[in-house]
Chains A and B, each alone.
Chain A
Amino acid sequence: MGEQIRSEAISQSAGSDPQKIMLGPAYFMNPVAETIVMPEPNFEEKKHLYSDKPLRFRTAPTIQDIEAVEEQIDLKDAIKSLNEPGSIRLADFKKKLGI
């Protein structure tokens, strides 16, 4: 076999055929030990191993989020249009109206 496969995964979801995924040796190194089944330790015993990086989860945007983004886009367009030829600045417009 040309490429040594050291790790493999089989995935399956309800209603679909199992799919076998073969994983190449990239990033895999020779192990010096096997893991051991042990009781799950208390959090205090292992908390030094955790990173401070918070877990991330994608949240679906709410209607309010989408509306806020749309308003931002509208505002950006409005500001951009002020710089176009023929546009009038708010201060000039107010002056014209006498307010």
Chain B
Amino acid sequence: MPEKEIQKDIPPPVLLSVIICERVIIDRISNQPSIIGAFETISAPAYPARHARLAFFCQLTNGRGKTKIDIKLVDVEEEDKLLFQGAVEQEFSDIRQVANLTFDISGIVFPHPGEYRFQIYAGTEFLGERRIICRKIELPSGDKSNG
């Protein structure tokens, strides 16, 4: 069987968890990730709004060999229009291995309030998704931002 066909038949990794948070700290000694400030809602006084920094953390298992992992941020209200895309190549040495992947993302601009989704793919295979909600808030002082 040609190598391409074998690759096609290999099942994609299994997505164990997806967390959106402020940051992920990876301990230099133990290599353990610490998830700081998990959230689902983003608040801004006006849109388009820029979010300075967020982290996308996910765990994958049942992977085989080198696998390209893609994450996409899509606008649900605009028929899943792509806002952001990032990729990383993950090597699975054993199918029982759990890979912790962290994407540290800065400067995403959300065009309007509503629902967005982070989607994760292994190659072209869709693995799962997570909601992120943007809401508009009124500032009592009339300030446009805290920056």
Contacts and interface: CB of A to CB of B under 8 A. Distances in A.
A99 interface: no
B126 A11 contact: no
Interface string B113-147: 11101000000011111110111010100001111
Interface residues of B, number: 68
Overall SS of chain B's interface = strand
A18 B40 CA distance: 25
B126 A36 contact: no
Nearest to A31: B50
A97 interface: no
B83 to A, nearest CB: 5
A34 to B, nearest CB: 4
B36 interface: no
Contacts of B15: 57-58
Overall SS of chain A's interface = loop
B14 interface: yes
Contacts of A30: 48, 109
A33 interface: yes
Given A34-B146, A36-B146, A23 B88 contact: no
Interface string A1-34: 0000011111111111001010100011111111
Given A16-B90, A57-B15, A50 B50 contact: no
Given A16-B91, A49-B115, 19 more contacts: A6-B109, A7-B109, A10-B104, A11-B103, A14-B31, A19-B88, A27-B82, A29-B48, A33-B44, A33-B145, A40-B40, A41-B43, A49-B113, A50-B133, A51-B115, A55-B130, A56-B126, A58-B12, A60-B62
Interface of A: 6-16, 19, 21, 23, 27-38, 40-41, 46, 49-51, 53, 55-58, 60
Interface of B: 11-12, 14-15, 26, 31, 33, 39-52, 62, 76-77, 81-91, 99-111, 113-115, 117, 125-131, 133-135, 137, 139, 144-147
14 contacts: A7-B109, A8-B107, A9-B84, A12-B102, A28-B83, A31-B49, A32-B144, A33-B46, A34-B50, A46-B133, A46-B135, A50-B115, A55-B130, A60-B11
